[in-house]
Amino acid sequence: MQLDNLYQEVILDHYKNPQHKKLNPVFDAQVHHINPSCGDEITLNVTLATGVVKEVSWDGVGCSISQASASILTDLLIGKSLDRAQEISDAFMHLMQSKGTETGDAELLEDAVALAGVSQYPARIKCALLGWMAFKDASVQAIAKNS
């Protein structure tokens, strides 16, 4: 897989120094998602405050794409309003479906644009989306629990 060198560095940095990769025992919802095609696994905990993503913590194993993407997600979504988190998640999913034709909105997606090149490799898209699908699942459960 050929990715831009700078982007490669961002991904490797998140892989080697993952953010918020330590499950907080206190959470509103916990999910476990797997990507059998690659062997990636993630457990993700979400805590919400009123309309805000208060905390996301996770643990996982797998390829650099899946682990870096989860790390990037936590940096991006913690502290954001639920609406903004939804907007960012939608933009990332849209980017992953772009088949390499889009570079992503860096203002909205920040480090996640480093994963844009992954959209050219259908087998790896699930790696990049694993944490995001887990977040989506967990946040829906957390909203249901809090309402």
Between 13 and 41, name the residue whose CB sits nearer to Zn ion.
41
**Can you tell me which of 73, 116, 127, 142 binds Zn ion, judged by CB under 5 A?**
127
68 near Zn ion (CB under 5 A): no
The binder of Zn ion chosen from 45, 47, 66, 139 (CB under 5 A): 66
Give yes or no for residue 33 binding Zn ion (CB under 5 A).
Answer: no
**Phi, psi angle pair for 23, to nearest 5°:** -60, 125
47: β partners = 55
For residue 29, give Cα distances in angstroms to 22, 102, 121: 15, 33, 31
Q: Quick one: which segment of 23-31, 50-58, 66-74, 84-92 binds Zn ion (CB under 5 A)?
A: 66-74
Does residue 134 touch Zn ion according to CB under 5 A?
no
User: Looking at this protein, which amino acid is placed at residue 10?
Assistant: V
Q: How far is the CB of 18 from Zn ion (least distance, A)?
A: 14
* 63 is an interface residue for Zn ion by CB under 5 A: yes
Helices 82-96, 64-77: crossing angle, 10 deg rounding: 150
Is residue 111 a contact residue for Zn ion (CB under 5 A)?
no
Give the total of residues touching Zn ion (CB under 5 A): 5
Within 37-56, the residues that bind Zn ion by CB under 5 A are 38, 40
Q: Does 72 bind Zn ion (CB under 5 A)?
A: no
Nearest to 123 by CA among 38, 15, 3, 11: 38
Q: Could you tell me the CA-to-CA distances from 17 to 44, 80, 90 in Å, in that order?
A: 17, 22, 25
Q: Say if residues 109 and 89 touch (Cβ distance below 8 Å).
A: no
Q: Applying CB under 5 A, which residues contact Zn ion?
A: 38, 40, 63, 66, 127
